[in-house]
Amino acid sequence: MTYSSPTPGDRVIHADHARLAYGKTTVATDITLALTTPGCHLVVGPNGSGKTTLLRAIAGQIPVDGTFTVSGDKPFDNQQIMDQCVLMGADIGFPTAWKARTVLRIAADRWSTFDTSRADELVDIFGLDTDKNYGELSRGQKTALQVVVALAARCPITCLDEPYLGLDIERRGILYRELAEEIAHHPRTFIIATHEPADAASITDTVTVLDEKKMLFCATAEQLADDVVTVAGPSNACEKLTADCPDLVLATTTTTGMSRVIIDLRGQDDIVFSRLADKAAQLKLTAGPTELDTTIAALISKNRG
């Protein structure tokens, strides 16, 4: 089937207080998104928070309650949307008797955008033996094969569900290097469900966080870097800094009289920023952006109380 890729800057995925469910069981509520293309969008949250369900909803595999569109249309069982999307990852298996090369051949038949030469290149890079049956592959080799399919498919919407599982350190590095290569030279919409946002921080445009059956927030990586700051210095000075704004403190760690305080300034105006910056300077505290994984962990912890 022939289809048109979304125009750069388009809002390719839109949700407004949508509900994800399996049958009558609610998985996550209050899903509100506006993801544009091209871009790399992370979906982060603990096990059972709805990451995989959200990816399956985007791929048109399950229905969604409420407003939820992909490329301007409802995705569930929508052949045109499903032809524009590839979903690979932890819970996506192939018949155990299929050889790896059979998987690649069928993928090439499935998606008109599939780049066979790119698939061959990735097979060599990951060191895959395509003569092995899928059932004979290790966990890491299965993951690598799924990454090959996802990247070589070159679909306008590429969904990856924990694409690092079973990969050793070297191949994890290869994964993110090849993702960066695709983003740079074949830009499209990437949606990655992950427990390890730090590994993907350099290629991330937005972060959606799910926890306790709801969406906590969706923000750009730039917004989080600007608005969630870490202040460090003597504990008494840190206490003075935050005395007037305890509600903005996400987390504090203290060791031998020195503290690190994570402060959430999202939604605050420039006056609050300036006052805290001036006060931190007066107290001779250091301040800077918080690492992405630390920010997410602190926000989830704060949400749980």
102, 38: one domain: yes
Looking at residue 93, its pLDDT comes to 86
Looking at residue 6, its pLDDT comes to 53
Rounded to whole angstroms, how far apart are CA atoms 299 and 293?
A: 10
- Residue 165 pLDDT > 80, yes or no? yes
Closest CA to 224 of 293, 304, 300: 293
Closest CA to 231 of 213, 253, 211, 214: 253
Q: Which of 188, 211, 234 is the last residue of a domain?
A: 211
74, 149: one domain: yes
1 assigned to some structural domain: no
Q: Which of 152, 176, 211 is the last residue of a domain?
A: 211
The mean per-residue pLDDT over the stretch 42-50 comes to 94
Looking at residue 92, its pLDDT comes to 84
217 assigned to some structural domain: no
Q: Which of 211, 245, 262 is the last residue of a domain?
A: 211
161, 248: one domain: no
- Residue 204 pLDDT > 60, yes or no? yes
192, 89: one domain: yes
189, 264: one domain: no
Looking at residue 85, its pLDDT comes to 98
3-state secondary structure of 76: coil
CATH of residue 236: 3.30.70.120
259, 114: one domain: no
Chain mean pLDDT for the chain: 94
Looking at residue 2, its pLDDT comes to 36
Rounded to whole angstroms, how far apart are CA atoms 131 and 23?
A: 39
Q: What residue numbers bound the domain in which 251 lies?
A: 223-304
Looking at residue 9, its pLDDT comes to 67
- Residue 8's pLDDT band, with cuts at 50, 70 and 90, is low
4 assigned to some structural domain: no
59, 202: one domain: yes
102 assigned to some structural domain: yes
57, 152: one domain: yes
- Residue 3 pLDDT > 60, yes or no? no
- pLDDT by residue (tens digit) across 109-148? 999 999 999 999 999 999 999 999 999 999 999 999 999 9
- Residue 168's pLDDT band, with cuts at 50, 70 and 90, is very high
2 assigned to some structural domain: no
196, 264: one domain: no
195 assigned to some structural domain: yes
- Residue 4 pLDDT > 50, yes or no? no
Four-CA torsion 19, 21, 26, 30, nearest 10 degrees = -20
194, 230: one domain: no
Query: For the chain, what is the domain count?
Result: 2
CATH of residue 107: 3.40.50.300
Top-confidence residue, 4 or 198: 198
Residue at token pair 């229905």: 63
77, 155: one domain: yes
Residue at token pair 């052949």: 79
The mean per-residue pLDDT over the stretch 4-23 comes to 82
Which residues are CB-neighbours of 264 under 8 A, at least 6 positions away?
227, 228, 248, 249, 250, 298, 299, 302
3 assigned to some structural domain: no
- pLDDT by residue (tens digit) across 217-265? 999 999 999 999 999 999 999 999 999 999 999 999 999 999 999 999 9
What is the CA angle 63-67-71, rounded to 5?
A: 80
171, 240: one domain: no
